[in-house]
Amino acid sequence: MRGTTGTATGRERLIGQFRALFHVLVRAWPSLLLTVLLAALALPAGMLIASGLSGAAQSAPGPSQTPGWQLEPEWLSVPQGIGPLSTTAPVPVPAEVAARLDPVLRTDGGGSFTGVVQDAATGKVLFDRDGMANRVPASNMKLLTAVAALRAIGPDSRFATKAIAGPASGPAGGASRTVVLVGGGDVLLGAGESAEDKVLGHAGLATLAKLTAESLRKEGFAGPVQVLVDDSLFTGPSLNPAWNPDDVAAGEAAPLFPLALNSARFDPAVTTGPRPQDAAILAGETFASQLKAAGAAAGLKVGAGVGRLEGKPAADAAVLGQVESATVSQQVDLMLRDSDNYLAETLGRMAAVAAGEPGSNEGATAAVMRQLTDLGIPTSGMTVADVSGLALANQVSARQFAEVVRAITSGPDTRLRAALGGFPVAGLTGTLGDRYVDDSSAEGAGLVRAKTGTLNTVIALSGYVVDADGRLLVFSFIGNDLTPGAAGNKPALDASATVLAACGCS
């Protein structure tokens, strides 16, 4: 069925409106349930009031008994979510998809767009515009990192940050002690108490400090204590040489360490601007301050300044306290939703460590390539220079990204399903929260889920959507050599994904 290009037919518009209403109802079902209950309460109450006003005869009072409608319900019906997609939904006709996409997938000024659309269930290619051409993908690289982290580390894994007993120091070797803060890969540490309902700040240094102070108190030790940091889990250069120094200066990235506060931000509420250049020492200083406060009542003395541990801690060093991060799947969601470069690079290195390889730039890129190959994703011609997408040396095709999204949505490795919730939702969350607001793409709001990518002359959008006939489609659109600042390029990608959502192209 063919409709006007870029605009839903009346039938498609109705289906889109029904979908949007359905999602609203699912999200709002507790409020709707309350409304129904209130209405149920109001009807009998209204009858009683009407009876009183009309002067109807009142029966003699009998034994007090709570009416059934006032009793607490024994159970509540759970609303049914969207069930499995119908396997009988028609697969779009490639010619129909191309007829709708070609007029809207156009650049504003210079450069070009490549693109691939596939049927998720069968892998059938429904649209292909130079889909095998290598392109600079920007932050779409994080989709590859998500796959590597979920496979190599595991969705339910957590990273531990420990405080361990270090060697004695000072005159006679026993006048003071060291406490070593050991980085285990959690760069989302909070300065305060652990917040177990959150991802950023799930593990808090104040909580770790209290556990450590209590352990020292039980030993009868009151100090002085010197805090050291062990950040030896990561090796090699802390900055990827493929990154533009201007991007680092602007805060797009920072030197990598296996522990950091707020994903290497000074303030969790400020996600732009320069970052700490030594996130490990800053975390150590914060921990030392919290340890001083936690041990004050017991007379614990904490020395000024924080240093780095030389060498490795003793294998049998006593653990004084430990806090654990949010799960890897939760961290992957945060990375994809907010396009967090620092977190992406950390997860790449942790994927390498999990595979027994060095936690370095080279280890991270090799881990991504290895996991893609093991998953059966074609990597011919692919170049992985970093795992966050800042490097212009990255080269990945739209077809390869479409295959990665297909592996996440419907591939045989079900661990990858943990990444689905991290894809930004058009017009609602993450890096798509302020898009899909104009006439060309508004009908895709709430329906399109995709990872964005943006550099000076690069934009990309790779994700998934259910079309008007109920068929799950995966797609990837990548623009390179674009005119910097051209206003029409992002809307063109958004409109293209919206076309797929509205497509009844069978």
451 a catalytic residue: no
180: which strand partners? 164, 228
* The predicted structure's pLDDT at residue 174: 53
Query: Long-range pairs for 311-316 at CB < 8 Å and ≥24 separation?
Result: 312/230, 312/232, 313/164, 313/166, 313/180, 313/182, 313/230, 314/167
- Number of other CB atoms surrounding residue 172 within 10 Å: 6
In a domain, 279, yes or no: yes
Residue 104 and residue 130 share a domain? yes
> Cis bond leading into 424, ω under 30°?
no
In a domain, 54, yes or no: no
Q: Which of 263, 329, 339, 476 is catalytic?
A: 339
Q: How far apart are CA 390 and CA 240, in angstroms?
A: 10
In a domain, 8, yes or no: no
Pick from 82, 87, 27, 19: nearest CA to 410: 87
Q: Domain range holding 380? A: 94-154+374-502
Domain boundary among 270, 303, 326: 326
Residue 401 and residue 288 share a domain? no
Q: How far apart are CA 343 and CA 85, in angstroms?
A: 33
Residue 177 and residue 136 share a domain? no
Residue 401 and residue 315 share a domain? no
SS3 2: coil
Q: Per-residue DSSP letters for 329-379?
A: HHHHHHHHHHT-HHHHHHHHHHHHHHTTS-BSHHHHHHHHHHHHHHHT---
Q: What angle do CA 251, 256, 259 make, to 5 degrees?
A: 110
301 a catalytic residue: no
User: Measured between alpha carbons, how far is residue 396 from residues 14, 147, 220, 246, 416 in Å?
Assistant: 37, 15, 59, 24, 20
Domain boundary among 268, 297, 326: 326
State how many domains the chain has: 2
Residue 241 and residue 121 share a domain? no
In a domain, 367, yes or no: no
Phi/psi of residue 224, nearest 5 degrees: -75, 155
Domain boundary among 288, 306, 326: 326
* The predicted structure's pLDDT at residue 87: 73
Pick from 269, 283, 51: nearest CA to 163: 283
Q: What is the CA radius of gyration of the chain?
A: 28
Relative orientation angle of helices 328-338 and 341-354, to the nearest 10 degrees: 150
Residue 307 and residue 279 share a domain? yes
In a domain, 441, yes or no: yes
Residue 488 and residue 443 share a domain? yes
Which CATH number characterizes residue 195's domain?
3.50.80.20
HSE-CB at 333 with a 13 A cutoff on CA atoms is 17
Phi/psi of residue 468, nearest 5 degrees: -65, -20
CB-based burial label for 91 (10 Å; 0-12, 13-18, 19+): middle
Q: What is the pTM of this model?
A: 0.83
**Residue 479 identity:** G
Q: How far apart are CA 423 and CA 332, in angstroms?
A: 10
Q: Which of 139, 194, 263, 462 is catalytic?
A: 139
142 a catalytic residue: yes
* The predicted structure's pLDDT at residue 71: 56
In a domain, 2, yes or no: no
Q: Which of 142, 162, 210, 292 is catalytic?
A: 142
Residue 472 and residue 405 share a domain? yes
Residue 260 and residue 216 share a domain? yes
* The predicted structure's pLDDT at residue 51: 39
The 3-state secondary structure of 427-491 reads: CCCHHHCCCCCCCCCHHHCCCCEEEEEEECCEEEEEEEEECCCCCEEEEEEEEECCCCCCCCHHH
Look-up: residue for tokens 């296996």? 258
* The predicted structure's pLDDT at residue 67: 57
Q: How far apart are CA 167 and CA 177, in angstroms?
A: 6
In a domain, 131, yes or no: yes
Residue 311 and residue 276 share a domain? yes
Residue 246 and residue 139 share a domain? no
* The predicted structure's pLDDT at residue 68: 56
Residue 190 and residue 172 share a domain? yes
Six-digit token string for 96: 């129909």
DSSP designation for 204: B
| pLDDT tens for the chain, residues 1 to 506 | 333 333 344 444 444 444 444 443 344 444 433 343 334 434 444 433 333 333 444 444 445 566 554 555 555 444 333 445 677 899 999 999 999 999 999 999 999 999 999 999 999 999 999 999 999 999 999 999 999 999 999 999 999 999 999 877 655 445 678 999 999 999 999 999 999 999 999 999 999 999 999 999 998 887 789 999 999 999 999 999 999 999 999 999 999 999 999 999 999 999 999 999 999 999 999 999 999 999 988 888 998 899 999 888 888 899 999 999 999 999 999 999 999 999 999 999 999 999 999 999 999 999 999 999 999 999 999 999 999 999 999 999 999 999 999 999 999 999 999 999 999 999 999 999 999 999 999 999 999 999 999 999 999 999 999 999 999 999 999 999 999 999 999 999 999 999 999 998 98
Which CATH number characterizes residue 107's domain?
3.40.710.10
In a domain, 80, yes or no: no
Pick from 233, 253, 258, 257: nearest CA to 243: 253
